[in-house]
Amino acid sequence: VVLEARGVTKHFEVRGRKGTSIVRAVEDIDLQLHRGEIVAMVGESGSGKTTVARLLSLYYEATSGEILLDGKLVDHVSGKRARDYYAQVQLLFQDPFASLNSLKPIRHILGRALRIHGRARSRRETEEKIHELLRRVNLTPPEQYIDKYPHELSGGQRQRIVIARALAVEPQVMLGDEPISMLDVSIRLDVLNLLKKLRDEEGLALLYITHDIASARYIADRINVMYAGQMIEGGSSEDVIQSPQHPYTRLLLDSSPDPARGLDGDQQSLFDEVGDLGEPPSLITPPKGCRFNPRCPFAMEICNREQPEKIEISPGHWARCWLHQEGKAHLLRQETIRF
């Protein structure tokens, strides 16, 4: 395990006209990221998945819980220790244009990342490493890109530069917060394939955060599903897609383009629009008991009263849903569910 979250919770205090409220952004997040593994965190907007990325990148300080890197506890760090952490854990942003300095050419952007983290000592070594980075992200020949400015590149090329800049630091982990959602559909697949290549050839660990379960299946070894600030199901991508064990995962799958179609060649369908998922609940006054209960066609009396515990359904595949304890899991296997 390279990066781990144990019971991580983040609450925000928000001051309004009626006084102070608590936003329960994420609660009790348990997550393990292994070397050479892509783990997806899937959920609709407002489910808390971006907060998880920000907690793991130390942008937010957790209200409670622990984050461990290489088995060592990470306190809220600053100075050199923060730099050491960022050298291991790099965040990829959604908007490649906003995260690159538009006034500087690629040589400067990559050279700066190499120098700040002491990855190149001389001008010659910097130049060689920039060429190598451009090749690793398939921007070849490097001479064609090195003197360009971000605005002279396409969206997909810019995202490759963002990935190259993260690689310059030689991290163990990348946190990709919707890294393809602002790119043209035609180039999203190229970026996903590049991330897979970095996993396979360089042993990189990636947390892939997305609202889109079809692209998660394409790229990830394991999928975690988030709803209203909580993780509600997790397992291997195949288990979660083929045999969802929580009604919300079924809703996500029923609203998505058929994820299997994308694997059979019609890869554009991986990025078809996700259907309407309805309104997510408030994180200031979340529903009592299971947070999905107001939208769940199977809600029982206990669901309105008590939060379901995590239950393991098969090795490595778990869900939080009372249907399993109440002997009603077969309801999830119906061909059609009316949400």
CB atoms within 10 A of CB 231: 26
d(CA 113, CA 44): 33
Nearest distance in Å: CB 286, ligand SF4 = 12
Considering only residues 252 to 281 of the shown chain, the ones binding ligand SF4 according to CB under 6 A are: none
d(CA 63, CA 300): 32
Q: Which residues contact 84 (CB under 8 A, 6 or more apart)?
A: none
226 binds ligand SF4 (CB under 6 A): no
Task: Considering the complex, state which of residue 10 and residue 246 has its C-beta at the smaller distance from ligand SF4.
Answer: 246
CA distance to 140, 164, 277, per residue, from 339 (Å):
49, 43, 9
Q: Which helix (H) or strand (E) holds 291?
A: none
* Among 150, 247, 262, 280, contact with ligand SF4 (rule: CB under 6 A): 247
Task: Considering the complex, state which of residue 130 and residue 303 has its C-beta at the smaller distance from ligand SF4.
Answer: 303
Which window, 55-63, 77-85, 270-278, 298-306, contacts ligand SF4 (CB under 6 A)?
A: 298-306
d(CA 225, CA 29): 11
Nearest distance in Å: CB 328, ligand SF4 = 8
* Among 303, 317, 318, 332, contact with ligand SF4 (rule: CB under 6 A): 303
Nearest distance in Å: CB 46, ligand SF4 = 18
318 binds ligand SF4 (CB under 6 A): no
Q: How many chain residues interact with ligand SF4 (CB under 6 A)?
A: 14
292 binds ligand SF4 (CB under 6 A): yes
Which window, 112-120, 214-222, 252-260, 288-296, contacts ligand SF4 (CB under 6 A)?
A: 288-296
Q: Which of 123, 122, 120, 209 is nearest to 167 (CA)?
A: 120
HSE on the CB side for 241, CA within 13 Å? 24
* Among 290, 317, 318, 332, contact with ligand SF4 (rule: CB under 6 A): 290
Considering only residues 55 to 94 of the shown chain, the ones binding ligand SF4 according to CB under 6 A are: none
Write the DSSP symbol of residue 168. Answer: H
d(CA 20, CA 36): 43
Which window, 62-70, 153-161, 180-188, 319-327, contacts ligand SF4 (CB under 6 A)?
A: 319-327
> Contact, 171 vs 133, CB < 8 A?
no
228 binds ligand SF4 (CB under 6 A): no
323 binds ligand SF4 (CB under 6 A): yes
- What are 176's two structure tokens? 């990709």
Which window, 43-51, 81-89, 127-135, 315-323, contacts ligand SF4 (CB under 6 A)?
A: 315-323
d(CA 116, CA 27): 35
Nearest distance in Å: CB 289, ligand SF4 = 7
Which window, 10-18, 63-71, 121-129, 320-328, contacts ligand SF4 (CB under 6 A)?
A: 320-328
Which window, 28-36, 61-69, 262-270, 318-326, contacts ligand SF4 (CB under 6 A)?
A: 318-326
Question: Which runs of consecutive H residues, i.e. helices, occur in the chain?
Answer: 49-56, 79-88, 106-116, 123-136, 155-168, 185-202, 213-219, 237-242, 247-255, 259-263, 301-305, 322-325
Residues that bind ligand SF4 (CB under 6 A): 246-247, 290, 292-293, 296, 298-300, 303, 308, 321-323
